[in-house]
Amino acid sequence: MALVVQKYGGSSLATPELIRKVAERVIRKKEEGHDLVVVVSAMGKTTDDLIRLAEEVAEEPPPREMDMLLSSGEQISMALLAMAIQDMGYPAISLTGPQAGIMTDTSHRKARILEVDTSRVRKELSEGKIVIVAGFQGLSTEGEITTLGRGGSDRTAVALAYALGAEGCEIYTDVEGVFTADPRIVPEAKKIPVISGDEMLELASSGAKVMEARSVEFATKYGVEVHVRSTFSDEPGTVIKREDPAMEKVLVRGIALDTKEAKVTIRRVPDRPGVAAAIFSPLADANINVDMIVQNVSQDGFTDLSFTVSTSDLKTALAICEGTKARVGAEEVTADEDVAKVSVVGVGMRSHAGVAAKMFKALADEGINIEMITTSEIRISCVVRKEQGERAVRALHRAFELDKEPT
∠ CA 168-171-175 to the nearest 5 degrees?
140
Site string for ligand ASP, 251-290 (x = CB under 6 A): ----------------------------------------
For ligand ASP, give the closer residue by CB, 209 or 352: 209
| Residue 150 binding target from Mg ion, ligand ASP, none, CB below 5 to 8 Å by type | ligand ASP
Closest approach of Cβ 45 to Mg ion, in Å? 9
Which residue has the CB atom at the shortest distance from Mg ion?
Answer: 10
Q: What size, in residues, is the chain?
A: 407
Interface residue with ligand ASP among 152, 237, 254, 389 (CB under 6 A) is: 152
Amino acid at 155: R
- Nearest Cα to Cα of residue 259 among 387, 395, 110: 387
CB-based contacts of 67: which residues, under 8 Å, 6+ apart?
108, 109, 137, 144, 145, 146, 147
Among 5, 6, 10, 178, binds ligand ASP (CB under 6 A): 10
104 in contact with Mg ion (CB under 5 A):
no
DSSP state of 150: T
Nearer to ligand ASP, 67 or 199 (CB): 67
DSSP string over 367-379: TPPP-EEEEETTE
Question: Which listed residue (12, 41, 205, 381) binds Mg ion by CB under 5 A?
Answer: 41
Residue closer to ligand ASP, measured from CB, 61 or 91: 61
**Among residues 150, 267, 358, 398, which is the contact residue for ligand ASP, using CB under 6 A?**
150
Interaction mask 49-88, ligand ASP, x per CB under 6 A: ------------------------x---------------
Strand order in the sheet with 372-376: 254-258, 339-345, 379-385, 372-376
SS3 sequence, 17-82? HHHHHHHHHHHHHHHCCCEEEEEECCCCCHHHHHHHHHHHHCCCCCHHHHHHHHHHHHHHHHHHHH
String marking each residue 17-56 x if it binds ligand ASP according to CB under 6 A: ------------------------xx----x---------
Strands 372-376, 379-385: pairing is antiparallel
Determine the Cα–Cα distance for residues 201 and 195; give it in Å rounded to an integer.
10
Q: ∠ CA 281-286-290 to the nearest 5 degrees?
A: 65
CB of residue 40 to ligand ASP, shortest distance in Å? 9
Contact positions vs Mg ion (CB under 5 A): 10, 41
Contact positions vs ligand ASP (CB under 6 A): 9-10, 41-42, 47, 73, 135-136, 150-153
